[in-house]
Chains A and B, each alone.
Chain A
Amino acid sequence: MKKWTVLMLCVAVIFSVSCASQSRKVTRTASDEAIDLSGRWNDTDSRLVAEEMIRDVLSRAWIDDFNGANEGKKPVVIVGRIRNKSSEHIATDVFIKDLERELINGGRIKFVASKAERSELRSEKEDQQSNATEDSAKKLASETGADFMLQGTISSVTDAVEGQKVVFYQVDLELVNIESNEKVWIGSKKIKKVVEQAKSKW
């Protein structure tokens, strides 16, 4: 009787497998809530790193030095290229936007549009010269030039064995004086994640 029960159970398992169904559930959540699914670089990493590094850059002496040398004028900053040297495809444009937001909201600097944005704006201004009224058309060649450029890299080191990996991210940013090529600030932020994947689930 016991053997019979075991056999029945085995058959039941086979049939339950073929009848398994999947369901999808969607839950709305706050955009700043930290949710880690795959363990890869995500929006939370991007936001937290941007917040922390910009807090650091805005608290350093280079701003006061610039103010002192330029009659209290706020430095004008542009975010340049952030290179992805990690082993993951990272949306660096999202990270750049996070950096820009934190820089502007800090209120201690002025900020100018990026290269691509400037190109679009110039095209609009050129269009205005022939199509807008004289008093509303914006002048050409009156842009604010940036004093400093923020550049950097995101790199990672991965150590992995079956079912477990440790990923170490390092974000390095540098603020460079565009005129003199002088580096006025260097910052680094490190993140370490342990990602475990179970060998089995029910």
Chain B
Amino acid sequence: MFQRGSIISIMLAAALFFAACGTSKAQYAGVDDKLRRGDYVSVAKQINDLKEKEYGEKNRVLFYLDLGMLMHYAGQYQQSNELLTQAENAIEELYTVSISKEAGAAIVNDNTREYSGEDYEDVYVNIFKAFNYLALNDAEGAAVEAKKVHIKINKLKDKYPIEDEEVKKQELPVFKESALAYYMSMLLYRMEKAWDDAEIDRKKLMEAMSGQKGVYIKLSNPEEAITLEDEALATAIPEGKGVVSVVSFNGLGPEKMARILNINTLGGGINISSRLDDKKDGAKADVRALFHYPQMRIPIPLMPPGYNFTVEFPEMVSKRPMAHRIEVVVDGTQKMDLFPIENISRVAEVTFAQKIASAYVKTLIRAGVKFAAAVVASEAANKAGGGLVGAITRFGTSTIASATEKADLRLSYFFPGEAFAGELALDPGEHQVTVTYYYGGGVIHQEKKTVTVKEGDLQVLETFYLGSR
């Protein structure tokens, strides 16, 4: 009997070892400075060198997304497309969950699962593939990607039904349309002179902004809505002119952080009694959080009373961009500020909050059932072994129960935080375009490009600065 107790203890220790596997982010060490300097090649090399050690087969979606985005910034559009396509295909393939692998995740934690991508990653992967195709002079390929974005966003509308009444009361914002995706397809229609189609997408762009107040807010100032005057964006190309569209990306996309909930067990149920602060920046994050974890009692048969354990929920948190304003100057004279068109980080927050809210009660029930099973195992070991074995096992029970509910904080790192856009009608010929990123009155980044404008043509100029605080 003593032997069986020892085995249980060893098993619990082994489970604790596996459960403690959290999210490693070692591959991103030191990348922020390099990104600010625009040294994308060096960051890509760092990521590629750590493919086996930090990513592996389980995190291949993350690897393809990370390297694919870096290749895009480095101007390696063909390679970027290949990598982002691999990411997209892997996300699609991983929609089908392996029960054998999921069983492992149910016992251990979500970090043991193959990373299957977040919704916002699956959507924006096509936006950046569209930019790649444009840079490769393949407007038809870009149009295919733009259509895929609309199909994917359409699917999101019904993806996360919220059944629990307490959760439903929060009326979380829903991401239904992307202004940036409509801007992309509007550009492509204008390139092929399909003016009616372009006008339809221009109107949809306006509706996407005005109809989704909870999504279209500024990344640098969430209190301020992203709006656009109807006359700020025209479909037609003025006679005798060519149009240069400048699309500028700013800051880095969001990161995931763990939110910890304290759970008390009752006889036959659990009580979510208190909410702990965010691990990183305390109560502030709670104010920003979209989803407020409702305090509730959930019945779980056979749950023993008088225990405490914790459950971690991943939460998407935006990073603040360093630049607040982007200005375009043509030939040193013609000036304009770009307008914000999409807060990509906010889209990530909104879609992820829907996902967490939809699974909130189920996650707590799963955690409760695991905890009840651990208590049963602990009591069995206690009876069988007593003394030291029992003490080790009792310690293991609460630790494992908490460790197995560690949040899965995996997320690709290199999507930008927000997108700006603006258009200039220019005379045919060569022009110097300077794009400057400002914080207050200070210049923090500048890019100069020469464009050759042809009458009646439209071309896209893309810039990016990934500095975030």
Contacts and interface: CB of A to CB of B under 8 A. Distances in A.
Interface in A111-148: none
Main secondary structure of the interface of A (DSSP, over half): mixed
Contact of A197 (B14, B95, B100, B148): B95
Contacts of B143: 85
Contact of A20 (B8, B100, B107, B376): B100
Nearest to A9: B103
A10 B96 CA distance: 22
B362 to A, nearest CB: 14
Interface residues of B, number: 35
B294 interface: no
Interface string A183-202: 00000000000000111111
A158 B151 contact: yes
A20 B102 CA distance: 13
Contacts of B141: 89
Contacts of B101: 17, 20
A13 interface: yes
Interface string B73-93: 000000000000000000010
B99 interface: yes
A162 B97 contact: no
A107 to B, nearest CB: 33
A86 B99 contact: no
Contacts of B140: 83-84
A196 B65 CA distance: 26
A200 B102 contact: yes
Interface string B110-145: 001000000000000000000000000000110110
Nearest to A158: B151
Contacts of B14: 11
Range, interface on chain A = 20 to 34
B98 interface: yes
Contact of B96 (A4, A85, A197): A197
B147 A17 contact: no
A14 B376 contact: no
Contacts of A160: 151, 154-155
A59 interface: no
B158 interface: yes
B17 to A, nearest CB: 11
Contacts of B98: 200-202
Given A4-B4, A13-B107, A161-B155, A87 B148 contact: yes
A30 interface: no
Nearest to A198: B96
Among all A-B residue pairs, the 3 with the closest Cβ atoms: A87-B147, A17-B104, A13-B103
14 contacts: A7-B377, A13-B107, A17-B100, A20-B100, A87-B147, A89-B144, A160-B151, A162-B155, A197-B92, A199-B95, A200-B97, A200-B98, A200-B99, A201-B97
